[in-house]
Amino acid sequence: MSILKNFHTQSATAAYRQQMFPSPLDTEAQCRVRDWAADLAAASTPHARHYEHQLLSRYQRQEVSCEQVLTLLDASPYHVLYRSHATRPFSEAQLQELLAAARSYNTRHHLTGLLLHSNGCFVQVLEGPKAVVQALYARIQQDARHTHVVTVSEGHGPKRRFGNWDMALGRVAGSAVVRAFETVLLQEEAPDAFASDRLLSALLQAFDVHQPPPTSLAPLRR
């Protein structure tokens, strides 16, 4: 029995090493998946990227191939939810100017999202292609009009949550919106997967954005 158990353990270890560690015979797809898995493991908020962890688990169970993993990642939108404080008060005209610039940029770069503002505080969701979202967020973090920029959650997801809006602007009013807004502002550190979903769901519900119930990753045919 112990010999059989050791055999299965060694086989599983060998299979894992073959998946996750380089070999001279590795394909480009295998190298990309391995790099993605390493980035996921090193992420400062790994628990907030639960969609990618689901995908990695399926890959490790050999339910999907390298090529299918990359196809799903390339097709899935990336989101960043952050909060910040304005360094000085925004007038109504300045808010409208900010919104017009955001909508123009987002339309050209296939981004969607939501911007909330109240008393000098901002909460924003950006979603779209990963490289585009990350580049824009890096600019926002360096923008002199913002301070105390805090990432609440980020990562890939199976679909866009604000897909109909190039950038919706909300002024916080009404109990549901206020609760959603304050929940994000009071978030001290990156939430776990379920809390991250609840934050985004609260924003969706507060703005009466309808979405289908979340679904698990469906099996893919090889």
Query: What's the average model confidence in pLDDT over 114-130?
Result: 84
* Fold annotation for 78-206: Alpha-Beta Plaits (3.30.70)
User: How many whole angstroms separate alpha carbon 156 and alpha carbon 77?
Assistant: 6
User: How many whole angstroms separate alpha carbon 147 and alpha carbon 145?
Assistant: 7
Tell me which long-range contacts 208-216 makes (C-beta under 8 A, separation of at least 24): 209/161, 209/162, 209/164, 211/159, 211/161, 214/158, 215/158, 216/54
Query: What's the average model confidence in pLDDT over 93-106?
Result: 88
pLDDT in tens, 104-120: 998 899 998 888 877 78
Q: What does the mean pLDDT of the chain come to?
A: 72
- 220 and 63 in contact (C-beta within 8 Å)? yes
pLDDT in tens, 141-186: 999 988 888 887 888 888 887 777 777 665 555 555 556 666 665 6
Query: What's the average model confidence in pLDDT over 184-212?
Result: 53
Is residue 220 very low, low, confident or very high in pLDDT (cuts 50, 70, 90)? very low
pLDDT at 170: 57
Flag whether the pTM goes above 0.75. Answer: no
Residue 150: both structure tokens together: 């805090």
Which range of 20-34, 35-49, 104-118 scores highest in mean pLDDT? It is: 104-118
Q: Domain boundaries in the chain?
A: 2-75, 78-206
